[in-house]
Amino acid sequence: MPSAAHTIPEILLQALRQARHVVVFSGAGISAESGVPTFRDAQTGLWSHFRAEDLATAEAYRQDKLLVWRWYQWRRQLLAQAQPNAGHHAIAALEQYVPQVTVITQNVDDLHQQSGSTRVLALHGNLRENICFACRRPGQAGPDDDTPPRCVHCGGSLRPNVVWFGEQLPTAIYRAAEQAAADCDLFLIIGTSGLVMPAASLPQLAQRKGATIALINAEATAHQDLAQHTLLGPSGTWLPALLAQAWPPSGTARNAG
């Protein structure tokens, strides 16, 4: 049971109970609770002499495919050990109570999907997938592939299906995210600093359209002035408390389809 220190304001609980569409906007903080290093964490081991920002570009891949590919394979090995945490599971459980839940995530780890969330808009792609660097079609690679496999369609080299620095977010996915932000009546900001554009503008869009904004993060962020409610601490603690207090165990799920 949540402690008294994790009591949720009743006005926020009411906003959640009455919501017809909740948007969850997640960032690296929620994945860090599953042991996934944030993108800007210091590199370790063989990669300690490299900056992530210098490897996650198309230009870096053109200059040294092996270097970039092997860095991503190392990151995938780290990710293989991660599991969805209590925060991820609480977000997935929201679908039992709220008619519509949309997860807009800046993370590339697939943990929201693994936890059972059914509508996930992954703005920055999926690290578990690959596409061709030339023709952009999907391709397959194994965890032990030490060199980028060739595309079966055009013969180009595969690369991770993530958005690199200097690349545009997927148009259809970002438009769907904008539509969800404009349509929702509760917008939960979870574990993101709110610095990366254009995604950082989504909470502002939701606010302009009249949504209640709530921030759950380990520390204050750029979105704190925007939020009507701020809950500082781990999402794995606050999100289960949010559900438990909005719908106590004796209650029934509201969303039957």
Answer yes or no: is 135 a known binding residue: yes
Q: What are phi and psi of 214, to 5 degrees?
A: -130, 140
Answer yes or no: is 106 a known binding residue: yes
Catalytic site residue from 88, 89, 124, 223: 124
Name the E strands within 81-199: 100-105, 120-122, 125-132, 138-139, 158-162, 186-190
**Under 8 Å between Cβ of 211 and 202:** no
- 194-231 pLDDT per residue, tens: 767 788 899 999 999 999 999 999 887 766 778 899 99
- 131-159 pLDDT per residue, tens: 999 999 999 999 889 999 999 999 999 99
Whole-number pLDDT of residue 20:
98
| pTM, 2 dp | 0.90
- 32-66 pLDDT per residue, tens: 999 887 766 545 444 455 677 788 999 999 999 99
- 69-123 pLDDT per residue, tens: 999 999 899 899 899 999 999 999 999 999 999 999 999 999 999 999 999 999 9
Domains and CATH numbers, the chain: 9-36+83-124+169-246 (3.40.50.1220), 45-80+133-162 (3.30.1600.10)
Answer yes or no: is 29 a known binding residue: no
The verdict on whether 124 is a catalytic residue reads yes
252 or 76, which is more confident = 76
Whole-number pLDDT of residue 4:
47
